[in-house]
Structure 1
Amino acid sequence: MRKILLTLCAVLTLFTGCFTSSTGAGTVGADRKQLLLISAAVMDESAAQAYVKTLSSAKTKGTLNIDPVLTKRVQNISKRLIAQTGVFRQDALKWNWQANVINEDTLNAWCMPGGRIVVYSGLITKLSLNDAQIAAVVGHEIAHALREHSREQASHDQLKNIGIFAISQAAGLGDVGAQALNIATQYTITLPFSRSHETEADHIGTELMARAGYDPNEAVKVWEKMSKIGASGGVPEILSTHPSNESRIKDLQEIAKKLEPLYLASSKK
């Protein structure tokens, strides 16, 4: 027992230096400390592989960027949002940002680590999203990448594995980076984010859109539209594990009010 406790103490000491905040606070205060055990390089490599695979599959099916007007619209909105990412982290301005549209009825969008964005056409057409509402969705997904939520979730899962590994008195912690390579791919698209991550992404994403000159109140309207679709039967994929619509709308209303001065200032530029 004493040996096990000493091993656990050593592990905890090692992890103490792994708590950091991946972003600056911004106006919304997004500077919560995060446990980031998995290296950023591993997550980026994994995301790059998954992104290429996704785009290649869509191209083969003839569904990648087939509407040039819609594609350009999404890319222009994305550029305006990306230009504001330096508020939260300066290095993001140098990421290899990409934005593509896949022609599917799926009500979803995502942004992988490193700035790899995909928006599904069904999200825009079925919800009749205007530019500001598209900005709300894309800003939210960009926020996940800025805050490295995929890396954080993978780190927490890896921590569980390491804990069991230590208690069983295995020889060492193992190669975390190599083990995470396969896991990381799942976190870029497949696995859902936690509710706290979704709320955090709402806050950061709404600030991005406000700074980019989009009315933050339009973020509220997006989730009102989502709520109506959810009430009619099918829950959109993008809502699968997000906070409840009622609490989310209330929270976004408060955030929009807080960010309105930023929007008004950006609109005058």
Structure 2
Amino acid sequence: MCLARSCLPRRGFLTSLAAGGAGLALAPAAGLAQVDVGPPSSMRKLVSAEQLESAAAQQYQQLLAQARTKGALAPDDHPQLRRLRATARRLLPHTPAWNPRASRWQWEVHLIGSRQINAFCMPGGKIAFFTGILDQLALTDDEAAMVMGHEMAHALREHARERIAKTQATGLGLSLGAQLLGLGDVGRLAADLGTQLLSLKFSREDETEADLVGLELAARGAYDPRASVSLWRKMAAVTGNNGLEFLSTHPSGPNRIRDLEANIPKVEGLYEQARRAG
């Protein structure tokens, strides 16, 4: 049974990394970044990372509770969920290189029954996949890893934190900065932030950055970087111009594929090294 469309966030994939939702301890992976995405935006400093991650965790648990009530939350022994969690275990050791706090996040991955072609990773490492993206695109493990790496990259590069900071600064004035730094009505603000996370849209720059960081994460996890191109070709073939939610927040097209193709040679050595290491 699938969740009602109105009950689901606009973007994301989640799956628990261990039975019972236990976190996974990480160790930083060695090696410099091969893709060039530049430094993170300084705007994110206007929003407390800890507060945003706490709000995300609350929203995540509410989503899981809704899915569980409707019988749409995949059990731990679900074959697709087990594949996703195995993928996450291969990617997670490489996340602290992009954000040192990632080694302290309580990463989770869950699978939700829904025909939506969608997935997300909330701040703090809360990942969700919908069955629609796996089934309708018939994703291979390599392609699913590209999706997961992309969504992880949004969290690692703190795109949600940056987007919310810019929204608050533009819509409510920089005076809200004191509240966002934990000096105001924390409870009300946390609820507001959680609500924003469910409708957040990233910029094209954010999406390009997530593509490249996700490409490198997946390559370091021994997933074929060429799958990034086949993924987006499948997406274009299946969705066409139907305006599906995943494409409304993940713009596709020739430029995206060209950017990925240009960066595949930068990470092929990482992929081959990881593959030889087993």
Task: Tell me the TM-score normalized by structure 1.
Answer: 0.83
Contact 2:119–2:129 (CA under 8 A) maintained in structure 1: yes
Structure 2 counterpart of 1:223: 232
Structure 2 counterpart of 1:27: 34
Greater relative contact order (CA < 8 Å, ≥ 6 in sequence): 2
How many equivalent pairs are there?
A: 239
Using the aligned pairs only, state the percent identity. 37
Please tell me whether residue 242 in structure 1 is matched to residue 250 in structure 2.
yes
SS at match of 1:44: helix
Deviations 1:22-77 (A, max 9, x none): xx972212332411201001101110110000000000000101461111111111
Following superposition, the deviation at residue 181 of structure 1 comes to: 2.2
1:251 is aligned, of 259, 263, 266, to 259
Structure 2 counterpart of 1:199: 208
Give unmatched runs, 5+ long, in structure 1. Answer: 1-23, 166-171
Structure 2 counterpart of 1:129: 139
Amino acid at match of 2:179: D
Please tell me whether residue 40 in structure 1 is matched to residue 53 in structure 2.
no
Contact 1:143–1:204 (CA under 8 A) maintained in structure 2: yes
Structure 2 counterpart of 1:20: none
Give unmatched runs, 5+ long, in structure 2. Answer: 1-30
Distance 2:50 2:160 in 1: 13
Task: Tell me the TM-score normalized by structure 2.
Answer: 0.80
Amino acid at match of 1:221: S
Please tell me whether residue 261 in structure 1 is matched to residue 264 in structure 2.
no
Contact 1:154–1:180 (CA under 8 A) maintained in structure 2: no
Amino acid at match of 1:32: P
Task: Provide closer, same or farther for how the CA distance between residues 256 and 189 of structure 1 changes in structure 2, counting only shifts above 3 A.
Answer: farther
Distance 2:265 2:156 in 1: 23
Please tell me whether residue 156 in structure 1 is matched to residue 166 in structure 2.
yes
Following superposition, the deviation at residue 90 of structure 1 comes to: 3.0
Following superposition, the deviation at residue 161 of structure 1 comes to: 4.0
Distance 2:105 2:125 in 1: 6
Following superposition, the deviation at residue 267 of structure 1 comes to: 1.0
Which segment drifts farther, 206-215 or 87-96? 87-96
Q: Aligned-residue CA RMSD in angstroms?
A: 2.0
1:74 is aligned, of 84, 87, 99, to 84
Distance 1:161 1:101 in 2: 35
Higher alpha-carbon Rg: 1
Amino acid at match of 1:84: H
Following superposition, the deviation at residue 229 of structure 1 comes to: 2.0
SS at match of 2:249: coil
Contact 1:25–1:31 (CA under 8 A) maintained in structure 2: no
Structure 2 counterpart of 1:61: 70
Following superposition, the deviation at residue 162 of structure 1 comes to: 5.2
2:116 is aligned, of 83, 86, 106, to 106
Structure 1 counterpart of 2:23: none
